[in-house]
Amino acid sequence: MYTLLSGLYKYMFRRDEYCILILGLDNAGKTTFLEQTKTRFNKNYKGMSLSKITTTVGLNIGTIDVGKARLMFWDLGGQDELQSLWDKYYAESHGIIYVIDSTDEERLSESKRAFEKVVTSEALEGVPILVLANKQDVETCLSIPDIKTAFSDCISKIGKRDCLTQACSALTGKGVNEGIEWMVKCVVRNIHRPPRQKDIT
């Protein structure tokens, strides 16, 4: 009887776990986005001061629960020499958040090249991609139409997958909730990448 009840409890209270990669060039605001996300979705989380965040060398990890879904974020360093490590995480991922610094027009073509490598990877076929046009709180930032135009020749390479370009300010939190909620819907309905199941603890 205990085994039956224990199994029923685990079934009712399990969470489907999804791994989400946060990619983009260095200084795009990936870690700030992750901290803002953890602060907004974890009631008792007291995050680090956003003004003290520095460039990631390696990997930052964070977890949030949204409904019955648990998102585990892997925030990977965006420096040129670290981008070669990104593909080591592709097979495990259920979704990609690609962060663009919309105030840095000079590096937009560099960001586009990195994005192209991501969307053309066979290991990520069918994986949903959320493109965050970050730093929209800065007056001189590029608009969403500007960024879509700059990345227009990537459209055919995106393939048959969910993809959204979202205005965002990781610093103020604008667009963070909307982006995460969109990603949750996409990973839950993506039958090609089933979740890992974890008991709620």
pLDDT digits (tens, 9 = 90+) for 32-91: 999 999 999 988 877 666 666 666 666 889 999 999 999 999 999 988 888 989 999 999
Point out the catalytic residue in the list 79, 83, 166, 197.
79
The encoded tokens of residue 121 equal 């990877």
Which ranges constitute the DSSP H helices of the chain?
A: 2-12, 30-41, 80-83, 108-119, 144-150, 155-158, 176-189
Residue 177 labelled as part of a binding site: no
Sign, CA torsion 85/69/172/142: positive
Closest listed residue to residue 64, CA positions, set 40, 33, 87 = 40
Residue 137 labelled as part of a binding site: yes
180 three-state secondary structure = helix
Please report which confidence band the pLDDT of residue 3 belongs to, taking 50, 70 and 90 as the band edges: low
* CA distances to 107, 148, 152, 188 from 114, in Å: 11, 15, 14, 26
This prediction has a pTM of 0.88
Residue 25 labelled as part of a binding site: yes
Residue 79 known to be catalytic: yes
Q: Output the pLDDT for position 8.
A: 47
Cβ(80)–Cβ(86) under 8 Å? no
Residue 117 labelled as part of a binding site: no
Residue 136 labelled as part of a binding site: yes
Q: The CATH number of 16-193 is which of 3.30.70.100, 3.40.50.300, 2.60.40.10, 3.60.130.10?
A: 3.40.50.300
Specify the higher pLDDT residue, 150 or 201. Answer: 150
Sign, CA torsion 9/13/18/20: negative
Residue 190 labelled as part of a binding site: no
Instruction: Give the separation between CA 49 and CA 111, rounded to whole angstroms.
Output: 26
Cβ(126)–Cβ(49) under 8 Å? no
